[in-house]
Structure 1
Amino acid sequence: MRLDKFLKVSRLIKRRTLAKEVAEQGRISINGNEAKASTVVKVGDELSIRFGQKLVTVQVNEIKENARKEEADQLYTVISEKRLNEE
């Protein structure tokens, strides 16, 4: 599944267009490599996403075409959440 679609389905990012923009800005990496919106996400991949001053690292548990709000957080596990200090 494409990265931008996974981010939307898992509700890590609310809209697919926003997920695409974040990827184009180089703020997402998969297993340590910078990722594009079209990069294929597989189970077991580790995604690092920079949201402003926060770096969130998640591991992909499951891939579904559609997920209800209640089951969206089961698609991934949060490994770490770090605050980035801009000094």
Structure 2
Amino acid sequence: MRLDKFLKISRIIKRRTVAKEVADQGRVQINGQVAKSSSTVKVEDEIKITFGNRMMVIKVKQLQESTKKEDAAKMYELIGEEIIEK
């Protein structure tokens, strides 16, 4: 599954266009490698996302083509979240 689609379906980022912009700006890493919006996401991948002054690390648990709001959180596990001091 494409990275931008995963971020939208899992509701980590609300819109796919925003997910695409974030990824293409180099603010997303998959398993330590900078990822583009078209990068492929697989189960057990570790994704690190930087939002302004916050960094979020998640592990992909499952991939679904569509999901309900209450099931979206089952697609990933939050490993860590931290505030980045500037």
Question: Normalised by the size of structure 1, how large is the TM-score?
Answer: 0.98
Superposed CA offset, 1:47-71 (max 9, x none): 0000110000000000000010000
Give distance in 2, aligned partners of 1:84 and 1:16: 25
Partner of 1:71: 71
* Unmatched segments (≥5 aa) in structure 1: none
Root mean square deviation of aligned Cα: 0.3
Partner of 1:85: 85
Paired residue secondary structure (1:73): helix
Letter of the 2:79 partner, please give it. I
Identity of aligned residues (%): 52
Letter of the 2:40 partner, please give it. V
Shift of 1:36: 0.2
Count of residues in correspondence between the two structures: 86
* Unmatched segments (≥5 aa) in structure 2: none
Structure 1 stretches of at least 4 aligned residues deviating more than 2 Å after TM superposition: none
Shift of 1:28: 0.1
Question: Normalised by the size of structure 2, how large is the TM-score?
Answer: 0.99
Partner of 2:33: 33
Paired residue secondary structure (1:63): coil
